[in-house]
């Protein structure tokens, strides 16, 4: 569980996002959580220089469908990074485990197969309150943290020398 504020970042240490195109694929399941993550990601991308017209958002029914949505976005859009946003809350069955493992492995596979970084912004919490706390509540917003990661990975993708683009 997060012990720091997920929304804290220093804009001076992040590459300017003005020239990058971002995709966001958002699960419709648990919308009070995923929409907060989505808004946090968009607000951060814009704050770091991204142009509104260079942010494409698609919805998919649930977290398991994020992998296909991201793959389709990679295949049909010219993007520098994608953020996959979802939420899975532990229940009484093994469904939680299957969904979490499938989505995690699917995003890993996309990162290996394609030259577009896909950022994992899927909250996998024990309770709804934990998810609320991490999607704009007392622990900040994981969408903000993932947007910063997307910017840094877009800079890495577009650089011949990673040290030139992300401040090493």
Task: Please give the positions annotated as active site.
Answer: 95
Nearest to 9 by CA among 168, 167, 146, 157: 146
The secondary element (H helix, E strand) that includes residue 121 is strand 118-125
CA angle, corner 152, sides to 63 and 43, nearest 5?
Answer: 65
User: What long-range pairs does 155-160 form, CB within 8 A, spacing at least 24?
Assistant: 155/15, 155/20, 156/117, 157/80, 157/81, 157/115, 157/116, 157/117, 158/20, 158/80
């Amino acid at each position: 569980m997060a012990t720091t504020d997920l929304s804290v970042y220093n804009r001076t240490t992040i590459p300017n996002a003005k020239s990058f195109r971002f995709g966001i694929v958002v699960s419709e399941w648990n919308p009070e959580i995923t929409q907060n993550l989505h808004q946090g990601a968009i607000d951060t991308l814009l704050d770091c220089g991204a142009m509104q017209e260079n942010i494409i958002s698609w919805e998919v029914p649930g977290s398991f469908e994020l992998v296909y949505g991201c793959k389709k976005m990679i295949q049909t859009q010219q993007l520098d990074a994608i953020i996959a946003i979802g939420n899975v809350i532990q229940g009484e069955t093994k469904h939680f485990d299957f969904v979490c493992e499938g989505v995690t492995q699917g995003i890993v596979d996309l990162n290996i197969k394609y030259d577009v970084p896909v950022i994992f912004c899927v909250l996998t919490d024990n309770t709804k309150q934990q998810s609320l706390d991490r999607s704009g509540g007392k622990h900040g917003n994981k969408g903000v943290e993932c947007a910063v990661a997307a910017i840094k990975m877009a800079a890495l993708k577009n650089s011949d020398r990673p040290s030139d683009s992300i401040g090493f």
